[in-house]
Each structure stands twice: as structure tokens, then as C-alpha cells.
Amino acid sequence: MDDLVAGDPSHIGPFRLLGRLGAGGTGRVYLARSAGGRAVAVKLVREVHAQRAAFRSRFAQEVAAARQVNGAWTAHVLDADATAEIPWVATAYVAGPSLRDVVDRDFGPLPEPSLLVLADRLALALTDIHSAGLVHRDLKPSHVLLAMDGPRVIDFGIAGAVAALSESDMAGTGVIVGSPGFMSPEQIQGKLVTPAGDVFCLGAVLAYAATGRMAFGLPDSGLGMMLFRVVHEEPDLVGVPASLLPVVRACLHKDPARRPTPEQLAGHLATNGGPGHSWLPPEVLAQVAGHAAELRESGIPRGHRRQYPLPVPEDGYRPDPPPPPPAAASEARMRRSPARKAAGFPRGQQRRSLSGALIVALILLALVAWFVAWFFARSLT
């Protein structure tokens, strides 16, 4: 999270802003708190959209539908104002990194057990979104947040409103709206976008999570060539685990009618995970706990922030402290290595084997991280 800058509002609607979470093509996102102290993510749409009456009308429709999406694996819409000078929407804040940050910046591809849970939960999220009459239209790694108990799909209100209007406005102009590499062939061709388009995007997201690469390559040879590959060529799925490969292939079928529905995917993938299960590697769980700790300190001047002791659950149980750190030489190597190497998921390579002591330490750290996030979540609801 970044600090607010000059020009940022102090409040949006009833919410007090604490910092910037990010910005994209549809607007800026802020971390905020309600009057009761609940953490929320508030998205302020771009002024260029706010100036269009058609956008406001479509935005109001999309938000009204998004309020009906109450599944476990989506960020719930809490409030919105389509009539404000600049429209905004507030959703439940998810304390966790995006899939893009975890795969591309910090740790690399996810291991197979994590991928299976990810695929199942995202299929369930799309089921809930489509049941409300919505099409996400912009499902991509940055719109998937990784929480302690599972992933959350975000940005299915504003993204849908902007994309739907833009598709209408741009029809016949040769201009496309979306995220290259995570768009369906029909979206690229300017055809009607249906829930099947979200399924194609899901396949592209899963391929990325499994390999650390976009299934249709990078736009380094030109955006047009990349989009041509999406429409006409087969995806590069080398590195996708065998257990997930049939699912990803089916999602990425060129013909929308040949793709499975999210319900069919969820039925096929039904897997354990979530509360009480470590669905992510210990290193990623520790990063999730770090987001929860940052949330706890949000709104406090940096110089006055402090470390909180590990909370003791109601049953009085406290996990044993982690064992002493590895030898000094190992510590020095870890300090010199970038985050990706420390995490044990180098891109394109086999995971390095870890010593038994380090594995034990990581498991214990993950347990500690779970309790920290559990405590923070209880204190904010």
C-alpha cells in the first residue's frame, strides 16, 4: 500500500481513505475504513468514464447485480454511488497479494496442490458471478487475490460496466478492450461476450499460475501477433501439471460452445482446501500474513507503528515458537538471494530441495501466520 498523495480525497462516501492500493484502466483503488472500523477497498472510476451518462446507467445496473453475488470466493460489494461526481464502489478488503504479484514478482509458479484449489475456487466464483447475470470480462491474475483461506475474484462491477460500453462503442472500429493475453478469441474479434468468455480467461489464468508464462506468449513481437495467436494458434501449456491439463485445454477451446461451464469445472475439480487447510506454500502464507499485519497498522503514522504479539486463540493454544534459524552461512545465502530463490519456486526450474530443518521452520511459520491473520480478521469484522 502506498501513502495518499496531494489531490487524493480524504473521504469517499462514508469511508475514510488510508492509502492507495493501486490503479488501472478503470480507476484508482484505495484502502479505507468505515465508520465502524471495517476495512474496505474503494474504487474511484476514471473521470473519462464519469463524464458519460451511458456509463453511469450501466454502472448502476452492474453494481446492483454485483450486490447479489455473495459467494465465498468473491469480494463482496458493500456500497456504491453511481450518481456521485465521480462514481465509486466499495468492496470487502481482501488481505492478500494478487496472483500476478505472487507468480511474476515474488515466488514463481504455484505447486500442483495450490493450483487445484485455485482452479476449483475460481470456477465457483464464476458460477456465482454468472448466476447474478454478470459477465466479468476482465478476469486476469491481478484480479485474483490470494487470501489465507482461498482466492478471491475482484473487480467484477466496474470492469463489466466499462467493458460492456466500450465493446458497444468500439464495434467496427478495430479497437479492442481488455487485457492482452487474458482475452477470449470472441472478445478480440469484437463478437458478443458471454460467460464462456470468462471460462477462456480462467484457462489463461490457470496456465499462467502453473507455468509463470502467458499461454499465448508475450507481445514482444507486437500486440497484433499476440492477439493473432489467441484467435488462431494453440496455447503453450508446457509445464501445466497433468492433473490440470485437461481442464486448461477445455477452457481454452476456440469455440465458446465447446468450453465447459464453471459449474461443470467445479464439479470436476471439487477438492479440499480453505479454512483449516494450508492451500498455499508456507512462503506465500507468510506474505498473506504480512498483508494482514499491514492492514492492522494502516492509518497509524509510520514512526509510531509497533509489533503486535502473537494472539492466543480462545482455547488457549499457542503454537510452539519456530526453531532457531539455520546456520549463519545459510542465512547469508538467503539474504543475498532474491525473493524468488528464497521462496523455492524458481521460474522454469525444478524446486530446490530444502533441508529438513528449514521445512519444519517454514511449516511452523505458516502456522503462526495463520493465527495472525485469523486474529486480525476477527478484529476487523
Annotated catalytic residue 138: yes
Phi, psi of 287 (to 5 degrees): -65, -40
Predicted local distance difference test score (pLDDT) of residue 364:
59
pLDDT digits (tens, 9 = 90+) for 126-180: 999 999 999 998 999 999 999 999 999 998 866 556 665 555 554 444 445 578 8
Q: What percent of the chain has pLDDT above 70?
A: 70
Query: Burial level of 247, CB count in 10 A (0-12/13-18/19+)?
Result: buried
Number of domains comprising the chain: 1
Q: Counting beta carbons within 10 angstroms of the beta carbon of residue 75, is it exposed (0 to 12), middle (13 to 18) or buried (19 or more)?
A: buried
The answer to whether 308 touches 379, Cβ cutoff 8 Å, is no
What is the average pLDDT score of the chain? Answer: 79
Q: Is residue 341 part of a domain?
A: yes
Is residue 239 one of the residues assigned to a domain?
no
Using the predicted structure, report yes or no on whether residue 251 has a pLDDT greater than 80. yes
The structure's pTM equals 0.76
**Helix, strand, coil shares, percent, the chain, to 5:** 45, 10, 45
Q: Would the pLDDT of 203 be above 80?
A: yes
Whether 127 and 263 have beta carbons less than 8 Å apart is answered as yes
C-alpha 244: how far from chain center: 20
In a domain, 192, yes or no: no
201 part of a folded domain: no
Residue 308 has pLDDT above 50, yes or no: no
Residues 6+ apart with CB under 8 A from 273: 116, 117, 120, 121, 150, 279
Q: What is the pLDDT of residue 51?
A: 83
* In-domain check, residue 278: no
What's the pLDDT tens digit per position in 225-238? Answer: 999 999 999 999 99
Q: How many helices (H) and strands (E) does the chain have?
A: 14, 8
Considering the domain boundaries, does residue 83 fall inside one? no
> All 3 cell numbers of residue 123?
470456477
Question: Does 321 map to a domain?
Answer: yes
Residue 344 within a domain: yes
Of 106, 120, 138, 198, catalytic: 138
Residue 337's domain comprises 310-380
